[in-house]
């Protein structure tokens, strides 16, 4: 094997941007920043957070109601 071909392996600190959770894992980078982690992701928590800034969800719900009536 050639020497110095493999990257360094670190105990990386992971920071979640959504919930602020920090934990460590092995990586080739010393620090990782993620938007969503397993503590706050809807798939793992079973809770759905709908962020509606433009009223799109309400418009969609009204459209579904109109179609159900017809």
pLDDT at 31: 95
What would the mean pLDDT of 50-56 be, rounded to a whole number? 70
pLDDT digits (tens, 9 = 90+) for 19-34: 889 999 999 999 999 9
Q: Residue with structure tokens 């159900």? A: 68
Kindly list the structural domains of the chain, giving each domain's residue range(s) and its CATH number in brackets, ordered by start.
Answer: 10-69 (4.10.80.400)
Q: Percentage of the chain surpassing pLDDT 90?
A: 37
pLDDT greater at residue 26 or residue 51: 26
Is the overall model pTM greater than 0.75, yes or no? Answer: no
From the list 32, 31, 29, the residue with the least C-alpha distance to 8 is 29
Q: Residue with structure tokens 């620090």? A: 31
What would the mean pLDDT of 55-59 be, rounded to a whole number? 83
Q: Judging by DSSP bridges, how do beta strands 22-27 and 10-16 pair with one another?
A: antiparallel
């Amino acid at each position: 094997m050639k020497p110095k071909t493999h990257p360094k392996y670190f105990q990386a600190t992971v920071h979640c941007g959504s919930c602020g959770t920090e934990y460590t894992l092995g990586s080739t980078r010393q620090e990782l920043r993620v938007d969503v982690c397993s503590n706050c992701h809807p798939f793992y928590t079973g809770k759905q957070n709908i962020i509606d800034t433009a009223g799109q969800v309400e418009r969609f719900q009204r459209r579904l109601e109109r179609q159900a009536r017809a």
